[in-house]
Amino acid sequence: MTLHPDLLSLLCNPFTGEPLKQDGDSLTGTASGARFPIRAGIPVILPPRQPLRTRFYRRFYDLAAALYDPVVRAGGQIGVNHEERLRREVIAALEISPGARVLETAIGSALNAPHLPPNIQHFGLDLSWGMLGRARRNLAAWGRAAHLVQADGAFIPLHTAAFDLVLHLGGLQFYADPFRGVSEMARVLKPGGRAILLDEAAAARRLLRRMPAHRDYAPDLPTAAASMTRLVPFTITEFESRLLPGGLFYMLSFTKPENL
């Protein structure tokens, strides 16, 4: 299956930065000759060796994929979470322009897709093949389109300065290296582009505690929202982090400077 040119033109080897070209059912690095498979039309561009945490959550979400949507839906029905409303309100507030190129890192089963405007270029990556399978099924059922890639969000296989918006909901806590994950989001943004990141507030504190440099040298983690600003690369000067009403989620947003 030939990859869509909009996707192929943006794909790169995240370990070398080189562009990739399609050779039948695989992608080849134009300089190194490194090969990555294309599985059922989805590029699989994963690091050759993955940390234990990454392997664990990849397997976990492969197993949990079938249950993910029903569990999220049930949580909404019994009032444990209000994710549906949160998705709708946060995405509506972004006022995404027609034609914008939007990347979702850790897209999961694509539950944000129905809230995004239909006239955008939507790209999504996820670590779990099972979740991407659900995403594909959901997108088809909703009549939506997105270019999907199986990848680790800490090694985004997409070119630098390619996206107007990077959206992330609920995956960062599972990353082996959340610092790298956030700096990769910044890298793929166009100058002036925005990143919006939402995750559980309780997870934000745990996330920094397991990063040795923070545990040992900066143990004062005042609040979840403040903690998250420590993940923002120092080249980013415009950012905001706050707890959302209800206190369950924080939202970190930043804009890539025009001169980067």
Ligand X SMILES: C[S@@+](CC[C@H](N)C(=O)[O-])C[C@H]1O[C@@H](n2cnc3c(N)ncnc32)[C@H](O)[C@@H]1O
Residues that bind ligand X (CB under 6 A): 54, 57, 61, 106-108, 111-112, 126-128, 131, 152-154, 169-171, 174-175
In terms of CB distance, is 14 or 153 closer to ligand X?
A: 153
- What is the smallest separation between the CB atom of 2 and ligand X, expressed in angstroms? 25
- In the bound state with ligand X, the residue whose beta carbon lies nearer, of 19 and 170, is 170
Give the separation between CA 117 and CA 71, rounded to whole angstroms. Answer: 25
Pairing between β-strand 189-200 and β-strand 101-105 as defined by DSSP bridges: unpaired
Are the C-beta atoms of residues 180 and 233 closer than 8 Å to each other? no
Nearer to ligand X, 10 or 176 (CB): 176
Q: How far apart are CA 109 and CA 75, in angstroms?
A: 16
> To the nearest whole angstrom, how small is the minimum distance from the Cβ of residue 60 to ligand X?
8
**Closest distance of CB 84 from ligand X, Å:** 10
Q: Which is nearer to ligand X, 152 or 164 (CB)?
A: 152
Q: How far apart are CA 224 and CA 243, in angstroms?
A: 8
Least CB distance from residue 153 to ligand X, whole Å? Answer: 3
Backbone angles phi, psi at 187, to 5 degrees: -60, -45
CA distance 219 to 196: 26
Residue nearest to ligand X (CB): 108
Give the span between the Cα atoms of 242 and 229, in whole angstroms.
Answer: 10
Residue 148 to residue 126: CA distance in whole angstroms:
8
Cβ closest to ligand X, residue 28 vs residue 111: 111
CB of 71 to ligand X, least distance (A): 10
